[in-house]
Amino acid sequence: MVKQSLEKYFKDLGEQPPSNVYDMVISTVEKPVLEAVIARAEGNQSHAAEMLGINRNTLRKKLQQHGLL
């Protein structure tokens, strides 16, 4: 699904060079990933951070950035 979306994005660009592709993809998928993991962890941020393989403080920062706190 992501690969197909990226291929369409590149096709739609035509001759224009792509830029900030990584940031675009991360900003698109990060919030739903966080929502799903927090739900799976039943709101337990320590457990969610462990599931994601990130520090709890990093998780809190990302949750705040996406308006999930």
Structural domains of the chain sorted by starting position, each given as residue range(s) with its CATH number in brackets: 19-69 (1.10.10.60)
For position 2, what pLDDT does the model report? 85
Cβ distance 27 to 36 under 8 Å? Answer: no
pLDDT confidence of residue 1: 82
Neighbour-count burial of 59, counting CB atoms closer than 10 A to its CB (0-12 exposed, 13-18 middle, 19+ buried): buried
Confidence (pLDDT) at 41? 99
Give me the pLDDT at residue 27, please. 86
pLDDT tens-place string over residues 6-63: 999 999 999 999 999 999 999 889 999 999 999 999 999 999 999 999 999 999 999 9
Query: Cβ distance 9 to 43 under 8 Å?
Result: no
